[in-house]
A and B are shown apart, each in its own frame.
Chain A
Amino acid sequence: MRQPDSDSFAELDAAPQPASGVHDPRSVGIVETKYLTLFEPPNPLVLANQATLGPITVAYETYGTLNHAKDNAIFVCHALTGDAHMAGRRSSDDRKAGWWDELVGPGKGLDTNRYFIICANVLGGCQGTTGPGNIDPSTGERFGLKFPFITFGDIVAVHSELVRKLGIDKLLAVIGGSVGGMQVLEWAAKFPDQLRAAICLASGPRLSAQGIAFNMVGRRAITSDPNFAQGNYYGDGKGSIINIETGPKLGLALARMVAHITYLSEESIEQKFGRNLQHREQFTYDMSTEVEFKVESYLNYQGQRFVERFDANSYLYLTRAMDYFDLNRDHGELSKALSRTNARFLVVSYTSDWLFTTAQSKQVVAALVKEQKHVTFVELESPFGHDSFLLEVEPLQEMLEPFLSQTHLSAQTR
């Protein structure tokens, strides 16, 4: 089990691992992000709010090989601020592997010897897929807040189209944790025949009011930063999406710090930092000392790292999409949302997760049971809070192995 030194949704900030000078037989090796343009004119994507958007570029990575029958493809939905780079390294001297490298590779939970794994950056994101930081082709300027309002339904519609474009009629499974798990559920509701299995980790059918409250504080931190400038903070518009100099870096870092606390647990913070002081043995008794405790230093660090890789506008759009996500509301009843699919479900919650509680996962399970679906549910013991789904790789692997191979078997014998 890995220590909770990585930063949660941040995936990318996983602890640096030694560069793989020696070939690691359990790694997918050197990988490359690929790009595909979808919804080109005259066929733009019609969004939930009836606006249209297109063309849409999607950044994605694949690992393993699609078999002849094309029945071994698994799509991974990343969490709020993740990206398509979930496994392997970008070059031989890359210090860090992808965000879920421990789960993806030869012989691992998502076994690349057997399965073809796809991971794509979400619509509205800032790591290769079209989002508010990209150029609006109709104006030649960056979208900023002119980017259309998007929902998880829209995000999944883009994923779904990517899968079709890759020549895959039916996925063996769609898997995701947290906001990724919401996408999994949305997928089963919106494209019920496109998946044989749905794996939903540390998630729920809708965000709790408490979750909405935390998201609101994060957004307010960004929009009240003097650098926010109504979302037009990209400078001359020629550089990268991430422009630390001109962007609302203080607000974005603050948003991240608040969110990060929700990914941990009282116990994991206590274990990792306790009340330990950062620089000295004694209190300074000085209000100008900003960082006195270790936990403060940690949050500062997480905030700083985040602004180096994430666009504030994307954060606004994606957290709002998260707030809106509500399968009960969209379909009248959760069970109705999940009634049309014949996919097998694996639902996993974690004991110390207070952002997406076991009770929320159980709502999904109860709806599936009501609809007489093939559902397996497990609540795993873990002290790491919401982050557990990224950290508790071993128990997850032990369940994925039989679940995926049995699903694959049933697909072949059908």
Chain B
Amino acid sequence: MATAVTPRKQRRFCMPDPFAVLTDEIIQAQISPGSRVLDLGCGDGRLLQSLRDLHQCQVQGIELDLHELTLAMNRGIPVLQGDLDRGLPLFPDNSFDFAVLSQTLQQVRQPRVIVQEMLRVAKQALVVVPNFAHWRVRWKVGLHGRAPVTSQLPYEWYDTPNLHFMSMHDFRDLAELLKAKVIKELPIIRGRAVEGAWWANLRADSALYVLQRSEVV
């Protein structure tokens, strides 16, 4: 199990909970009320609860961790225990309006497969990815010659759930490879969505993408 490193004297900025809440708000803003929403790696079900209670969405979560899953049950959220690395075999094509994957893509073994699966089961895929091309990360690598521990994902390289390090440019490449249409690209800078931000690949900690299969209009 990967654990967050304890703070040392060096300056770092971690992703505290308020940021997660902000990200949830940014995600919710993209989802039309009354939609059917699948959250991959839904954790304690916080996002789905707001979508259900405030946006009248019909929701379904997937979560691997039993403890998190129980917390989601406490919110009355239906959750299937499942490993995203095995795809979404229980879900028929086009069974959701939105499939959400927030801050998890870098942790699955086959990011390409999971995004493909999201586009299969949902009309739109909503993906929030960390941007490892953020200038602080570059600074860390370039000047200190160190792997990027300073990102919003505070893990040492040998003890981290993060298997892939992608940038915004890189994610666009994947979307292109999957022939997915990028409906929206929202750079998130210090917890705020900044549409059309300058130098986004340098300044954004993460970014939200809304993808759609190109054959669906």
Contacts and interface: CB of A to CB of B under 8 A. Distances in A.
Interface of A: 344, 362, 365-366, 369-370, 372, 374-380, 395, 398-399, 402-403, 406, 409-410
Interface stretch (B5-13, B89-97, B99-107, B207-215): B89-97
B15 to A, nearest CB: 27
Interface string B88-127: 0111100100000000000000000000000000000000
Contact of B80 (A376, A395, A402): A376
Contact of A366 (B73, B75, B90): B90
B78 A344 contact: yes
A14 B124 CA distance: 52
Given A362-B90, A370-B92, A377 B73 contact: no
Contacts of B36: 372
B73 A376 contact: yes
Given A365-B90, A369-B95, A372-B95, A410 B76 contact: yes
Nearest to A335: B92
A377 B81 contact: yes
Nearest to B66: A378
B48 interface: no
Nearest to B96: A372
Contacts of A378: 66, 69, 81
A344 to B, nearest CB: 7
Contact of A369 (B75, B76, B92): B92
Contacts of B91: 369
24 contacts: A362-B90, A366-B89, A366-B90, A369-B60, A369-B80, A369-B95, A372-B95, A374-B78, A375-B60, A375-B78, A376-B78, A376-B80, A377-B81, A377-B82, A378-B69, A378-B81, A379-B81, A398-B70, A399-B70, A399-B73, A402-B73, A402-B76, A406-B73, A406-B74
B79 interface: yes
B58 interface: yes
A12 B78 CA distance: 34
A366 B91 CA distance: 7
A371 to B, nearest CB: 10
Nearest to A346: B73
Interface of B: 36, 58, 60, 66, 69-70, 73-76, 78-82, 89-92, 95
A374 B79 CA distance: 9
Q: Name the prevailing secondary structure of the A interface residues.
A: helix
Given A362-B90, A377-B79, 8 more contacts: A366-B90, A369-B91, A370-B95, A376-B69, A376-B80, A377-B80, A398-B70, A409-B76
Contacts of A398: 70
Contact of A375 (B69, B80, B82, B89): B80
| Pairs A-B, 4 closest by C-beta atoms | A406-B76, A402-B73, A402-B74, A377-B80
Contacts of A375: 60, 78, 80
A198 to B, nearest CB: 13
Nearest to A365: B90
B58 A372 contact: yes
Nearest to B74: A402
Nearest to A349: B81
Nearest to B59: A374
A187 to B, nearest CB: 19
Contacts of B75: 406
B216 to A, nearest CB: 20
Contacts of A395: 66
Of the candidates B79, B89, B90, B95, the one having the most CB atoms from chain A within 10 angstroms of its own CB is: B90
B22 to A, nearest CB: 27
A378 B61 CA distance: 12
Of the candidates A375, A376, A378, A399, the one having the most CB atoms from chain B within 10 angstroms of its own CB is: A376
A84 B145 CA distance: 70
A370 B76 CA distance: 20
A377 B79 CA distance: 6
Nearest to B38: A369
Contacts of B82: 377
A337 B79 CA distance: 22
B42 to A, nearest CB: 11
B1 to A, nearest CB: 15
A366 B76 CA distance: 20
A379 B80 CA distance: 9
A331 B153 CA distance: 50
Nearest to A345: B78
A399 B76 CA distance: 11
B81 A369 contact: no
Of the candidates A395, A406, A409, the one having the most CB atoms from chain B within 10 angstroms of its own CB is: A406
Of the candidates A366, A402, A403, the one having the most CB atoms from chain B within 10 angstroms of its own CB is: A402
Contacts of A366: 89-90
Nearest to B62: A377
Of the candidates A344, A378, A398, the one having the most CB atoms from chain B within 10 angstroms of its own CB is: A378
Nearest to A400: B73
Contacts of A403: 73
Contacts of A344: 78
Nearest to A369: B90
A410 B52 CA distance: 13
